[in-house]
Structure 1
Amino acid sequence: MSSTVFFILYRLLETCTSFFFYFSVFLHSFLASYLIYNLYTREVRELNPPEVSDSVLQFASWGVHGQQLIYIFENNIYYQTDVQSSSWRLTSSGQEGIIFNGIADWLYEEEVLHTQAAHWWSPDGSRLAYLTINDSLVPNMLLPCYTGSLYPRGKEYPYPKMGQNNPSVRLYVVTLDGSSLTTELKPPDSFEKSEYYMTMVKWVTQERLSVRWVNRAQNMSILSLCDVTTGDCTKKHVMTSEKWLDRQNEEPIFSKDCLTFFVTMPLKHGGRGMFNHITMISNQSDGQGQEVNLHHLTSGSWEVIQILAYDETTHLVYFLSTEEGSTQRQLYRLSTVDPFHKECLTCSLFRSECTYYDAVLGPDYQHVLLKCRGNTSWPTHDSAPGGQAVSDRFSLSWDSVLVSSDNIIVARLDGRGSGFQGQRILHEVHQRLGTVDVQDQITVIEHLIRLPYIDGNKVGVYGKGYGGFLSSLMLLSHSSLFECGIAVAPITNWRLYGSAVAEKYFGYPVKEDHKHQV
């Protein structure tokens, strides 16, 4: 079998369209032309739908087996068994700006899935799961473009705001044996007549999918296991919250028989509130029906960041975690037969300067690919509630220039509303963004300007997005503290923001209308 490789040739469209798709609206998506290049024969062929030549595609990638190819053109999915074969169309309902097959619309890409792709290969490549997102009832936003022509033009795209119609979404599985047999996976009964999001899809076996369904208020989620041949989904776990649920993109780790799985759940730790910890959930038959056993494997006033893998042979669970009061991220493991005794695998490595890791376990669980992403000198930031501004993750940015070249001190704070410090701190901003989080920032500034090496007459504030929202409020309420301020793309009215985020923190506007105003 000859080796092939993709070369991506970006085709710049006329100015307004190019700007819209690559920069302004869809964070991860772009349009491109694709060529398939044979490294041995030097043969080059364009990747195009059968009915179109010289096309611009929305997505293209290899499959998981051999030379399988998938690409998306005009919101429809196309499939090739290999690079020499002709492609066939798996969907036909796609409509520009209305029906999206296998790729995300604005809301799902930006706020729900956080990726352009809305499809998932089965482990053996014999099936493809994909979302169909219907924006036909979603109001459109107009993005004006003032370049490239004498008069301004505009590009419309579906953008649901608070209380407006959200896209409807369905999950399908199609077989890739030539029959294109398609099965729809049904939502839980409690969501059948209500609005919901699908925040996570993961293949567990060749015939089973794990799916997380979240209600529009985002205070209840259902994790289900679905049979792709019948379309029936079995409820495995339900989570509820008086405020909102976080971590709804988290992928559960299942055992091979699918009877046991691992997720993170909030666990109370004394008077310090709830912290996310590893929970093992088993479904076993007692002769009378299904009995659910739930075991918390970790505890404490620290957070499990991500569960990576479960080795059934050794009964070991691998995960990334912080320590109490730490900004580090290290790799740990623990035994399901001896829980609460965790072992740090990266804390004593020879690269002691690295304290922030990403990790990928090998298939045999004997090796791990580590990526050192930081040390204690460089903080990073996230301009949204639930993010982490202070960590050991490495970054180089405008802050670095200010610190190294201009004798400027840059300070960041993880106050109330930030993540990885427990549910109490995270939920402090529920229905009151711009209050306690601003107070925390001001308190720190008032402390810092009393330090002898800081000139209190030369303090500025900068923020972007949600950070711009906070910067604006700080400048308005405490202008005497600041010499200058910058608010980049600040949120000025939460009713104008996207539905998924705004409703998450403020509730549905019918009942909470007065709380959405800045």
Structure 2
Amino acid sequence: MRPKSGKTLCLGLIVCIVGVLAIVLPLALLPPVETAQDDDKPTFTLANYLEGTYFPQSFSMSWISDDEYIFRNSSGAIYRKKLPLLDENLFIPSMVNATINFVSPSKGYTLLQTSRKKGWRHSYTADYQVFDIINQEIIDAFLPQTIQYIAWSSKDALAYVLKNNIYLKHTVNGTAVPITTSGEENLIFNGIPDWLYEEEIFSSNVAMWWSPDGGHLAFAQFNETGVECIEYSWYGEEQYPKTISIPYPKSGTNLPKVTLFVVNVSNPDTHQKIEPPDNLADKDHYLSAVTWVNETRLCVQWMPRHQNVSYLAFCDFNSNIWKCPKYGPSKPYFGPNNTEYYRVLPNEQGYNHVHRIKSPEDSQLLTNGSWEVMAIVFVTANNLYYISNQNQTFPGTSHLYKYYISNQNQTIPGTSHLYKIFDYTKNPKISCVTCNLKIKRCQYYNAYFSLKGTYFKLLCSGPGVPMETLHHANSELEILEDNKELEKKLDELQMPIVKYHSLRMHGFDLWYQLILPPNLNKNDKHPLLLEVYGGPGSRKVSYEFKMDWATYLASTERVIVARFDGRGTAYRGNKLMHAIYRRLGTFEVEDQISVAREFSKWNYVDEDRIAIWGWSYGGYLTSMVLGAGSGVFKCGIAVAPVSSWMYYDAAYTERYMGLPTPDDNKEAYESSTVMSRAANFSTVQYLLVHGTADDNVHFQQSAHISKSLVEKGVEFSAMWYTDKDHGLSDLAHNHLYIHLSHFLEQCFDLPPNP
């Protein structure tokens, strides 16, 4: 259960502070978002949302060298652009229908992908052909069908995974050589992760890594022996449903056994095993990161089952043996000399900052303050680039910054800017790359660097209409996408007004976002919908631009939509984030009730028409809030909710709850179920939604809620989506939001949506 925008909880000392609700504090430093609205303009309708009429365009590009990128034009052809002169030439014609992410390092070949079939969140299978870019023709590379993963080496060799085994092709038209033969469906995975590692550890479909010179291939093997499977029915079109079985370790059950190997591609029959640290070897553990430092040094990160500490091993290739003598903290970014690395770690006050580490005993804090570094994005010989919310006083920003910090004590939790550190041997000097570029439009950035970091693309995601630009040092080279047409179209709509404020609760300034109907009359009463997620290390309140269901509700139905980040959420320091460690379903539930109760006191909020809704962890939070019996909420919607942490995967659950054993945290597991609160649902209207083929939060979770509500005689509404997974995509998406809208119409007594 990984939020789109969030981070992993860094476990440590737990601090619990109980306080009282205080007054609303306006944020003075934010760009103005309130504008006059014309009542004669049309509103943003449900049909507009479902049809994507007002969604921003994006610019899809891929770096193929330090000064070249490729992109697809409107006709489908792929062009190559050379920097800094922006010279452009045809790279791959449109009739080839190539994917821009599969160009070989030599730029002589590209892979053509067809018959792509979705697996889990990141994984898929596909068929591939090799296209010769120089001769502009497809060549016969004898690649099999239904490949699970494929990757180029720096020398244009290919490694791919088929039926859980790895194969090597030294040249594109050479014979495939098997690297492994042990692969077996649902039992042994080579070079690709199993479900648990794909979802919770690697967040990708990749478990093999080429060395920079293409001479070695590291790969992970996952053995599912002893791991129990989740099974669910796939109804399809046949007379009898199929049974889908996936190895899925739930909390307290057996984990997959992971092994890391390195293969010399000139002698692929010999596999050298990389051992975990001695104190983990005989215990349950995870392989959490693999990074090639150079051609003969591999950096490997391991974690124990509780994930409360990490071990970093530097493995050197000496005399045909890989030796891993050093252990330290977690995933690094290496400098050009490969003798030191950079890592985001908590400072003494519990805020995440950049550290330079030469050894476990030699660590230097490069950034500091009561704000957080969210991620290091690139390291060059002279500069280290990172994303941070240090610029203002609101933690929901996430921009690419380009300016010198004059006051690092001010923090905007919703911001995210790109910063640059240089002159490491002296006092670090920090400049913001993006802070002053487009202040009103852009306060939420990300950056994508060329292969050596000379150029970078900036993606501005809000609060204004998103745009993408290309940069070199301090200069903007090119506007890649400005969404001017969308800006013009939005000027013709009655758009909601978005505001940000904070509440003082339990010793913290906790931030919320209000999406208000246009031309709000504060003498009128409006229904309010609280949109929640609330999982550990997540964030809902930010400057990201959205044209979503909430936009429709505020614009057309005149519903106030609120988002709130309570205890347990990210980018405000570990004291706030760790508040719900080992106690999921407690403080984050209390905080949502408290903020809704505060909203209910406002003159323009109808205290009798307050609702809550969420998806995944948000569905769990919604259900726990409604089950608390607070009397604040009239109705709520839970989509694909967790109902008991005993039913969710081990890696996520144990990271935040520990083990469900009497000597660890069994009592917290038992007290945090939705089912234990079933009787209190009799006072609210409840809509429960789930896909029957959800491989992440299993249908079992909602089935148990349904069972408990029936046993308590509670009436509720439910909607099951046959053969749909956790995302409820395609036709189910539109059906879902129409259904949710009708539910709110009934709950809030709104006029029917035409």
Fold shared by both chains (TM-score > 0.5): yes
Q: Structure 1 residues 362 and 438 mapped into 2: Cα distance closer, same or farther (>3 Å)? A: same
Q: Does 1:397 pair with 2:502?
A: no
Residue in 2 that maps onto 1:295: 364
Task: Tell whether the 8 Å contact from 1:466 to 1:490 is kept in structure 2 after alignment.
Answer: yes
Gaps of 5+ in 1: 13-20, 50-54, 239-247, 284-290
For 1:472 and 1:308, the matched residues in 2 are separated by 37
Q: Does 1:233 pair with 2:321?
A: no
For 2:354 and 2:365, the matched residues in 1 are separated by 6
| One of 306, 324, 329 as aligned partner of 2:375 | 306
Residue in 2 that maps onto 1:281: 357
Q: Does 1:488 pair with 2:642?
A: no
Deviation at 1:215, TM superposition (A): 0.4
Q: Structure 1 residues 175 and 142 mapped into 2: Cα distance closer, same or farther (>3 Å)? A: same
For 1:147 and 1:431, the matched residues in 2 are separated by 40
| One of 341, 346, 359 as aligned partner of 1:261 | 341
Residue in 2 that maps onto 1:369: 457
Q: For residue 509 of structure 1, give the secondary structure of its aligned residue in structure 2.
A: coil
For 1:366 and 1:152, the matched residues in 2 are separated by 55
Write out aligned runs for 1:402-413 (5 A). 402-413=553-564
Task: Tell whether the 8 Å contact from 1:36 to 1:47 is kept in structure 2 after alignment.
Answer: no
**One-letter amino acid of the structure 1 residue matched with residue 388 of structure 2:** S
For 2:136 and 2:419, the matched residues in 1 are separated by 47
For 2:188 and 2:228, the matched residues in 1 are separated by 14
Task: Tell whether the 8 Å contact from 1:299 to 1:340 is kept in structure 2 after alignment.
Answer: no
Residue in 2 that maps onto 1:87: 176
Residue in 1 that maps onto 2:306: 217
Deviation at 1:444, TM superposition (A): 1.2
**One-letter amino acid of the structure 1 residue matched with residue 325 of structure 2:** T
Deviation at 1:88, TM superposition (A): 1.4
Q: Structure 1 residues 36 and 188 mapped into 2: Cα distance closer, same or farther (>3 Å)? A: same
| One of 332, 340, 343 as aligned partner of 1:252 | 332
Deviation at 1:481, TM superposition (A): 2.1
Residue in 1 that maps onto 2:149: 59
For 2:272 and 2:551, the matched residues in 1 are separated by 52
Gaps of 5+ in 2: 1-105, 391-410, 465-497, 500-512, 514-530, 674-754
> Is the deviation greater in 450-459 or in 75-84?
450-459
**One-letter amino acid of the structure 2 residue matched with residue 441 of structure 1:** Q
Residue in 1 that maps onto 2:73: none
Residue in 2 that maps onto 1:32: 126
| One of 267, 271, 287 as aligned partner of 1:182 | 271
Task: Tell whether the 8 Å contact from 1:2 to 1:38 is kept in structure 2 after alignment.
Answer: no
Q: Structure 1 residues 126 and 320 mapped into 2: Cα distance closer, same or farther (>3 Å)? A: same
> Is the deviation greater in 178-187 or in 327-336?
178-187
Q: Structure 1 residues 46 and 122 mapped into 2: Cα distance closer, same or farther (>3 Å)? A: closer
Q: Does 1:515 pair with 2:640?
A: no
Residue in 2 that maps onto 1:462: 613
Q: Structure 1 residues 8 and 351 mapped into 2: Cα distance closer, same or farther (>3 Å)? A: farther
> Is the deviation greater in 165-174 or in 35-44?
35-44
Residue in 2 that maps onto 1:244: none
For 1:403 and 1:418, the matched residues in 2 are separated by 25
Deviations 1:177-214 (A, max 9, x none): 25443211111111111111111111111111111111
Task: Tell whether the 8 Å contact from 1:122 to 1:128 is kept in structure 2 after alignment.
Answer: yes
Deviation at 1:497, TM superposition (A): 0.8
| One of 589, 605, 608 as aligned partner of 1:438 | 589
Q: For residue 277 of structure 1, give the secondary structure of its aligned residue in structure 2.
A: strand
For 1:394 and 1:199, the matched residues in 2 are separated by 32
| One of 123, 129, 133 as aligned partner of 2:222 | 133
Task: Tell whether the 8 Å contact from 1:360 to 1:370 is kept in structure 2 after alignment.
Answer: yes
For 1:394 and 1:87, the matched residues in 2 are separated by 47
Q: Does 1:48 pair with 2:48?
A: no
For 2:159 and 2:560, the matched residues in 1 are separated by 49
Q: Structure 1 residues 42 and 351 mapped into 2: Cα distance closer, same or farther (>3 Å)? A: farther
Q: Structure 1 residues 160 and 365 mapped into 2: Cα distance closer, same or farther (>3 Å)? A: closer
**One-letter amino acid of the structure 2 residue matched with residue 346 of structure 1:** T
Higher relative contact order (Cα pairs below 8 Å, separated by 6+ residues): 2
For 1:364 and 1:87, the matched residues in 2 are separated by 32
> Is the deviation greater in 204-213 or in 180-189?
180-189
Task: Tell whether the 8 Å contact from 1:389 to 1:414 is kept in structure 2 after alignment.
Answer: yes
Q: Structure 1 residues 366 and 84 mapped into 2: Cα distance closer, same or farther (>3 Å)? A: closer
Deviation at 1:2, TM superposition (A): 8.8
Q: Structure 1 residues 118 and 397 mapped into 2: Cα distance closer, same or farther (>3 Å)? A: farther
**One-letter amino acid of the structure 2 residue matched with residue 58 of structure 1:** Q
Q: TM-score, normalised by structure 1?
A: 0.86
Deviation at 1:392, TM superposition (A): 1.9
For 2:228 and 2:453, the matched residues in 1 are separated by 48
For 1:309 and 1:363, the matched residues in 2 are separated by 10
